[in-house]
Amino acid sequence: MNIFLGLDIGGTTVKAALVTESGEILHKHEFPTNANAGLDDFCERTYQALSLGVKESGCSLQDVRGVGVGIPGPVDLNTGTVIEAVNLGWTNVPVVKLLKDRLGLPVALENDANVAALGEAWRGAGSGSESALCVVVGTGVGGGIVLNGHLYRGAHGGAGEIGHLMVLRDGPLCNCGNHGCLETLASATAIIREAKNAQTRGEIPANRVISGAQDVFALADAGNLAARKVITDAAEWLGYGLGLAACTLNPEVIVLGGGVSRAKDALLLPVREAFARYVFPVIRDDSRIELATLGNDAGVIGSARLIAQQVGA
Ligand SMILES: [Zn+2]
């Protein structure tokens, strides 16, 4: 049996899973990232997570063929280095070499949005499709492209960054320095900002706490018209942006994930409706939009798939 260790490294916790070559999770474990403790400590705790997984799942260490790692930041695949991961305080860290030395296994590295896309395309909502655009709608809007089962990274890993499609000239300022990027209009951050503006105008009761997009969805669900408009506008921009992306890629499936997608049909249905109106009619019916199905497991499953592809298992 071929087994792979998939790691999904976040600012607070590391998710580690032993995944079979067919995508079944044998064992899952989480440990604190504790990036301040240093890289030796991180490698040691990763080794312990691997040992624990092997022991508790009853498999053999010899069955583990490699390790895939998803990182919250840009990576250099040529050198196996994390260029910068702000949440971890890592700059130019040679993660592939460090983990290879400690674990004695092949290691593959990738940006976390890309491995999550690979996971969803392989075993989630994109399962069975040749091409998938996976979009994460959370604090920002990120994404990844999978073609014929493999990640499409573009020249430097920037492919699929549809959050920075400029959809509104002179729109709100984006973290990237441009104005009017999709994520300034369709992310959780945008939804919260617009709901608070409506609250300032007196259209949402002043005593309602708006700390997340889910608060705005709840207000909309309860019949608040201003909250409904905020959601409709965000969904409209998302459908519009996905329409632009679909004209370039014509993916079989567009997968919506991330915190905002937890609103399920309250997001999915208006996005589908807007997409159908904006997209090139010839390809309208070719690209279906679906909600992500793997949740927090997308990263570890995608990381495992990545290393499986690299070692040819
Ligand atoms: Zn931007």
Q: Note whether residue 186 is domain-resident.
A: yes
- In a shared domain, residues 131 and 102: no
Q: What is the mean pLDDT of residues 163-185?
A: 96
Same domain, 302 and 281: no
Residue 158 is predicted with a pLDDT of 87
pLDDT band at 45 (very low <50, low <70, confident <90, very high): very high
- 152 shares its domain with 273: yes
Q: Are residues 217 and 272 in the same domain?
A: yes
Residues 13 and 59 occupy one common structural domain = yes
Could you tell me if residue 60 is inside a domain? Answer: yes
- What residues contact 179, with CB distance under 8 A and at least 6 apart? 166, 168, 169, 170, 171, 172, 173
Whether the CB-CB separation of 186 and 234 falls below 8 Å is answered with yes
Contact between 7 and 16 under an 8 Å Cβ cutoff? The reply is yes
Identify the pLDDT of residue 234.
98
CA pair distance 58, 240, nearest whole angstrom:
49
Residue 35 pLDDT grade (very low, low, confident, very high; cuts 50, 70, 90): confident
- Judgement on whether residues 176 and 198 belong to the same structural domain of the protein: yes
**143 alpha carbon – ligand 1 mean position (Å):** 13
Instruction: Determine which helix (DSSP H) or strand (DSSP E) holds 151, and give its type and residue range.
Output: strand 150-152
pLDDT in tens, 51-86: 999 999 999 999 999 999 999 989 999 999 999 998
Longest dimension (CA), the chain: 64
Q: Is residue 117 part of a domain?
A: no
Distance 242 CA to ligand 1 centre (A): 15
CA of 180 to the centre of ligand 1 (A): 7
- Count structural domains, the chain: 2
Model confidence band, residue 156 (pLDDT cutoffs 50, 70, 90) = confident
Residue 56 Cα to ligand 1 midpoint, Å, equals 44
Q: Report how far apart, in Å, the C-alpha atoms of 21 and of each of 49, 57, 205, 296 are.
A: 19, 15, 52, 19
Mean pLDDT of all residues in 118-145 = 95
Same domain, 53 and 143: no
Residue 118 falls inside a structural domain: no
Examine residue 120 and state whether it is found in any structural domain, yes or no.
no
CA dihedral 88, 93, 98, 103 (to 10 degrees): 40
pLDDT score, position 222: 97
Residue 306 is encoded by which pair of tokens? Answer: 């990545």
Selection from 309, 298, 296 nearest residue 108 by Cα: 309
pLDDT digits (tens, 9 = 90+) for 219-250: 999 999 999 999 999 999 999 999 999 999 99
Asked if residue 85 belongs to a domain, the reply is yes
Domain residue limits at 226: 125-293
Same domain, yes or no: 79 and 182: no
What is the 162 CA–ligand 1 centroid distance (Å)? 9
* Residue 119 covered by a domain: no
The predicted pLDDT at position 118 comes to: 97
Q: Are residues 82 and 211 in the same domain?
A: no
Contact assessment for residue 240 and residue 274, using Cβ atoms and an 8 Å cutoff: yes
Q: In whole angstroms, what is the distance from residue 286 CA to residue 279 CA?
A: 11
Output the pTM of the full model.
Answer: 0.92
The pLDDT confidence band at residue 87, using thresholds 50, 70 and 90, is confident
Q: Do 188 and 223 sit in the same domain of this protein?
A: yes
CA of 176 to the centre of ligand 1 (A): 4
Q: Does 313 have pLDDT greater than 80? A: no
Are 289 and 242 a contacting pair, CB within 8 Å? Answer: yes
- Residue 178, phi then psi, degrees to nearest 5: -85, 175
CATH of the domain at 38: 3.30.420.40
* Shared-domain flag, residues 266 and 203: yes
Q: Write out the two tokens for 49.
A: 């997570």
User: Is 234 within the bounds of a domain?
Assistant: yes
CA distances from 61 to 5, 12, 40, 55, 189 (A): 11, 27, 21, 9, 44
Q: How far is the CA of 155 from the centre of ligand 1 (A)?
A: 19
165 shares a domain with 108? no
Compute the distance from residue 72 Cα to the ligand 1 centre, in Å.
Answer: 17
Residue 282 burial (CB count, 10 A) = 9
